[in-house]
């Protein structure tokens, strides 16, 4: 999708979900938004400098078949330019006819995916991290993901970056001011103060790096696997955790021959719960062997293993070795009467949050920011080394500029068309 400068063209798209509904919404943005409605809407209105709400009739076909609509008008809307929304009945044929009539009637074209949000970014209404947060809100599949996206949309990522960039820019300005007055005995920033500011900036950078780091940056759901000997109560626990009967429970060992998998949400965290065939004993037949091999493979790929062990039963040598070797991702569950379900739920949620969900940015932002933060950190560390070695301050200033540019990439003050295309083409049309 080519980069579009705001005000070049007026765009239109449905802003409501596709399909039949009680209400449908069309969104226009651009300097021809109001003009495009001429002869299609009554009563006539000319926009103006104030927000307005106008009720009237729209004529997508002819004057004999009006459609009742409400128009919401903003002289400077979400995109930073003249914008309006047309609210009417949510009939796809009517909405399609209205879009076609508006495009024929004025200098209007259908919007590209994400173009409304991209215009908001290009006009300075939001920064790049907030643009990605909007997509995070749209794609959120859990309370945790939604909370992260909303916090980022409110400036949770941009604010600390802005503070850091302002400090670095102030130091750069003062440092470079000294170059213009090199022959005059004026010190705009002392070496000690520069060293202090660089140390502070590096600490700030490390804090940002920790906030942007998370094991679940690819958006995949964590996999929680129930593992244990045959007849250890895995399927019973599987059903209890899901709150429904998905697996067959039997007193006969080895009932589960394959594996069961189900989407599961725990404390707002979306994950996948897997029940496996019992493993840890010698196979008794041709079915047991592949079933146990499959269980071992699934367990090896698990993010968290709920290892089921019957109450008052000591683990076998195999079990003890497995638990010790995988202590970081194993939660030992005493089944058949010892570990309460509430305790299992609470501990599982705590382990998930501790291990996978401490990233304070949506996945796309966190992935994109890692390289920028690494380059900014390297530049500031180089600047500090140059300062300690008493090498030309112009080289120190150059490294600070590199750090500023890298941080500017995160919020979008430094960007390329390819970067914007990679972000906004993931949006749906109308956003």
> What domains sit in the chain, N to C, each tagged with a CATH number?
10-125 (3.30.1360.120), 136-214+364-412 (1.20.120.430), 223-356 (3.40.50.300)
CA–CA gap between residue 226 and residue 299 (Å, rounded)? 8
**Mean pLDDT across 253-272:** 73
Q: pLDDT value at position 282?
A: 45
The whole-number pLDDT of residue 365 equals 79
The pLDDT confidence band at residue 246, using thresholds 50, 70 and 90, is low
Average pLDDT over residues 9-25: 87
Q: What is the mean pLDDT of the chain?
A: 80
pLDDT of residue 290: 54
Quote the pLDDT of residue 362: 77
Mean pLDDT of 365-393: 86
Average pLDDT over residues 358-363: 70
- What is the predicted pLDDT for the residue at 179? 67
Average pLDDT (172-190) is 67
Q: Which residues fall within 8 angstroms of residue 148, CB to CB, at 6 or more apart? A: 136, 359, 360, 361, 362
Residue 12 is predicted with a pLDDT of 92
- The stretches of 157-287 forming alpha helices (DSSP H) are 158-180, 191-211, 234-242
Average pLDDT over residues 414-431: 76
pLDDT of residue 96: 92
pLDDT digits (tens, 9 = 90+) for 69-93: 999 999 988 888 999 999 999 899 9
By mean pLDDT, which of 83-92, 202-211, 295-304 is the weakest? 295-304
DSSP string, 347-395: HHHHHHHHHH----S-HHHHHHHHHHHHHHHHHHHHHHHHHHTT--HHH
Across the range 347-374, mean pLDDT stands at 77
Q: 94-150 pLDDT, tens per residue?
A: 999 999 999 988 789 999 988 998 999 988 888 888 888 888 888 887 777 788 888
Q: What is the CA radius of gyration of the chain?
A: 30
Instruction: Look up tokens 């063209």; give the residue.
Output: 9
Read off the pLDDT band of 2 (50, 70, 90).
very low
Dist CA 73 CA 228 (whole Å):
62
Alpha carbons 278 and 319: distance in angstroms, whole number? 12
Q: Give the global pTM.
A: 0.65
How would residue 152 be classed by pLDDT, with cut points 50, 70 and 90? confident
268-294 pLDDT, tens digit each: 778 889 888 766 544 444 444 555 565
Q: Mean pLDDT across the stretch 15-42?
A: 88
Give CA–CA dist 8/32, Å, rounded.
10
Tell me the range of 88-97, 264-273, 309-318, 327-336 where mean pLDDT is highest. 88-97
Across 124-133, 165-174, 271-280, 395-404, least confident range: 271-280
Structure tokens given for 251: 């007193």
Q: What is the mean pLDDT of the segment spanning 160-182?
A: 79
- The more confidently predicted of residues 397 and 180 is 397
∠217-218-222 over CA atoms, to 5°? 85
CA separation for the pair 108, 12 (Å, rounded): 7
Q: Range with the lowest mean pLDDT among 216-230, 279-293, 338-352?
A: 279-293
């Amino acid at each position: 999708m080519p980069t579009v400068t705001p005000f070049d063209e007026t765009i239109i798209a449905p802003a409501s979900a596709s399909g039949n509904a009680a209400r449908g919404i069309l969104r226009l943005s651009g300097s021809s938004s109001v003009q495009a409605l001429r002869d299609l809407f009554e009563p006539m209105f000319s926009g103006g400098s104030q927000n307005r709400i106008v009720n009237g009739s729209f004529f997508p076909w002819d004057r004999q078949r009006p459609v009742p609509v409400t128009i919401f008008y903003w002289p400077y809307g979400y995109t930073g330019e003249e914008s309006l929304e047309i609210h009417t009945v949510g009939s796809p044929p009517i909405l399609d006819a209205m879009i076609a009539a508006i495009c024929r009637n004025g200098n209007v074209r259908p919007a590209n995916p994400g173009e409304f949000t991209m215009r908001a970014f290009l006009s300075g209404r939001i920064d790049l991290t907030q643009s990605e947060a909007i997509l995070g809100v749209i794609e959120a599949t859990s309370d945790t993901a939604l909370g992260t996206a909303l916090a980022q949309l409110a400036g949770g990522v941009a604010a600390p970056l802005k503070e850091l960039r302002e400090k670095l820019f102030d130091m750069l300005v003062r440092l470079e001011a000294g170059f213009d007055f090199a022959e005059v005995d004026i010190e705009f920033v002392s070496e000690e103060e520069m060293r202090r500011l660089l140390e502070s900036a590096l600490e700030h950078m490390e804090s940002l790096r920790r906030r942007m780091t998370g094991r679940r940056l690819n958006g995949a759901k964590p996999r929680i696997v129930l593992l244990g000997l045959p007849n250890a109560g895995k399927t019973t626990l599987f059903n209890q955790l899901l709150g429904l009967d998905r697996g067959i429970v039997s007193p006969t060992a080895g009932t589960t021959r394959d594996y069961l998998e189900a989407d599961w949400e725990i404390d707002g965290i979306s994950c996948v719960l897997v029940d496996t065939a019992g493993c840890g004993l010698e196979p008794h037949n041709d079915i047991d062997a592949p079933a146990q091999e499959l269980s071992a493979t699934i367990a090896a790929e698990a993010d968290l293993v709920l290892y089921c062990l019957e109450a008052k039963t000591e683990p076998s040598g195999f079990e003890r070795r497995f638990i010790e070797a995988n202590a970081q991702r194993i939660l030992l569950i005493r089944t058949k009467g010892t570990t309460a379900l509430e305790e299992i739920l609470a501990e599982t949620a705590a382990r998930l949050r501790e291990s996978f969900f401490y990233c304070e940015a949506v996945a796309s932002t966190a992935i994109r920011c890692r390289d920028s933060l690494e380059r900014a950190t390297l530049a500031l560390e180089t600047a500090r080394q140059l300062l300690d070695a008493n090498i030309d301050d112009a080289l120190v200033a150059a490294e600070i500029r590199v750090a500023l540019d890298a941080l500017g990439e995160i919020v979008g003050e430094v960007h390329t068309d390819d970067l914007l295309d990679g972000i906004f083409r993931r949006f749906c049309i109308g956003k």
